[in-house]
Structure 1
Amino acid sequence: MSAGPELAGRLALVTGAGRGIGEAVVAALVEQGARVLATDLAPDGLAALAGKFGEQVVPRPLDVTDAAAVETLVAEAEHTLGPVDIAVNVAGILRSSDVVDLTDEDWAATFAVNANGVFHVSRSVARRMAGRARGSVVTVASNAAGIPRAGMAAYAASKAAAVMFTKCLGLEVAARGVRCNTVSPGSTLTDMQRALWSGSTDQEAAVRRVVEGDLASHRTGIPLGRIADPADIADAVVFLVSDRARHITMHDLYVDGGATLRA
């Protein structure tokens, strides 16, 4: 006899939920029975999620760079929807540029979302989770946090900051029953990835270049021979927030097909 969906009855907050990995995370959480507070800056993706999943998804606009807005949303959610059991930080931006051409604005904007946003959301939910002695936080980072990437210094540095922040938070709240982990994807077929191919008229060739690697940019290929689908990342997130991972915290799970050779 089936025990039912493993996340039934739990409330999950997902940032960057409107598309790509965030959208896939919402779908995977709903499939496992969770109710999801889906947040994003763009309303279109949220409306589509609500239309697809009905009452299982509660859409809310959110700018993760606004600490007050984050705190207001979490407080409101806890009052109207119930305790937040799961938080998944997916919201992120990529401003690619060589360092010598990187603007102050692009550096600051990248950290505002990719690092500050993770801090704002995680702090708000963790203080409540710790008081209840349960909860799970997962930050979607990047394998670029662990290996240099040409033209991606701001992105890589911001993701490295998010990884170490999440580990430090995990250390602080572990004794109070809260687990904090990160998932670090490699190249994944999302709008962010496609934007890196904006100068290419042949997407198949662009995919092949990523899979095979690029010696000129000191980039290794993907040993498994494929670019990840957002669902591959979502599956890893769902595992880490589930009771199957109850003894895992402060872990950085690479989901990159072996691209970094785990350097």
Structure 2
Amino acid sequence: MAERNTGSHNGAPGGSGTLAGRRALVTGAGQGIGAAVARALAAQGAHVAATDRRAEGVEALAAEHAAAEHAVVDGGSKPGGITPYAMDVTDAAAVHSVVDTVTTRHGPLDILVNVAGILRPGPAAELSDEDWAATFAVNTTGVFHTARAVAPGMAARGRGSIVTVGSNAAGVPRVHMGAYAASKAASAMYTKCLGLELARTGVRCNVVAPGSTDTAMQRALWQDPEAPRRVIDGDPAAYRTGIPLGRIADPSDIAAAVLFLVSDPARHITMQELYVDGGATLR
């Protein structure tokens, strides 16, 4: 009989913290929001399989975490671990192979966080076939591949949490972001549909929708020193409101929202989309 998720969890040995003993897989963990999510989960005791298409980023993250572990003083909270894996979310066979390897080495997965994403900006009517296909391959089909590989095991055990990091662009039209916004909207709705189908098994599926966040992807859009100020103040020419809170998010702000949604205090939350954008979408 499947074990239903009642909020408590007895997992494999690990660090101390609210997620002690749990096992997580994070995609796009080589930098930015993905790296921040992996750090946050590990800080709360989870063992994190940090994946990225480029191995260098997750290997550096794991090395950084290992060094921090050695620096923990007696009596301090012991973090979980981070193990790096090269994985291309657009390759279904590769995803299944990595998930199989992770579960064999570390045990069944309790948490999946889909962060991997790309942005190919351009006028909606002028996007190339390649840009459109590549954007959906990572941002939407990648989420499908990882969820399909992980969800059945969670459902069989009667517990688990899946969080997809989307974008506030999924709910508000953005100039030159047609492919990106559409792909994020699709992945958000897929995650909610999955959550509906899995709800009776005790598996929860939610979406975190960031606004402008200080990442390499965001900085690639900035063409001059005044660009960050325009993001905060708004840009009428681009039909874009500013950020009421007056700041661009840090990746740790997004990671904090993910951390809450995978935690026991969120045990009665599923199929929800949490906007973390400083009020930019006026929701």
Q: Do the structures match in fold with TM over 0.5? A: yes
In the alignment, is residue 238 of structure 1 matched against residue 250 of structure 2?
Answer: no
**Partner of 2:236 in structure 1?**
215
What do residues 186-231 of structure 1 show as CA deviations (whole Å, max 9, x unaligned)?
A: 000000000001x22x1xx211100000001100100000000000
Instruction: Give the TM-score normalised by the residue count of structure 2.
Output: 0.89
CA distance in 2, matches of 1:52, 1:222: 33
* Aligned residue runs from structure 1 range 1-263, under 5 A: 4-54=16-66, 56-197=81-222, 199-200=223-224, 202=225, 205-262=226-283
Shift of 1:46: 1.0
Q: Which amino acid aligns with 1:159?
A: K
Structure 1: where are the runs of 5+ without partners?
none
**Pairs aligned (count):** 255
Structure 2 Cα separation of the partners of residues 64 and 123 of structure 1: 12
Equivalent-residue separation in structure 2 for 1:171 and 1:149 (angstroms): 28
Q: Deviations over 1:32-90 (max 9, x none)?
A: 11010000011221121111122711100000000111111111211111010000000
Q: Distance in 2 between matches of 1:72 and 1:60?
A: 11
1:109 match: secondary structure: helix
* Inter-partner Cα distance in structure 2 for 1:100 and 1:127: 39
- Structure 1 ranges of 4+ moved more than 6 A: none
Separation in structure 2 between the aligned mates of residue 233 and residue 124 of structure 1, nearest angstrom: 24
Shift of 1:258: 0.4
Q: Which moved more, 1:188-197 or 1:40-49?
A: 40-49
Q: Which amino acid aligns with 2:199?
A: A
**Distance between the aligned counterparts of 1:182 and 1:67, measured in 2?**
22
CA distance in 1, matches of 2:55, 2:106: 20
Q: Which moved more, 1:184-193 or 1:94-103?
A: 94-103
The one-letter code sitting in structure 1 at the alignment partner of 2:197 is E
Q: In structure 1, what residue type is equivalent to 2:259?
A: V
User: What letter matches 1:106 in structure 2?
Assistant: D
Equivalent-residue separation in structure 1 for 2:147 and 2:36 (angstroms) = 20
Instruction: Return the alpha-carbon distance in structure 2 between the equivalents of residues 16 and 210 of structure 1.
Output: 24
Find the aligned partners of 2:182 and 2:254 in 1 and give their Cα distance. Answer: 21
Shift of 1:123: 1.1
The structure richer in helix per residue is 1
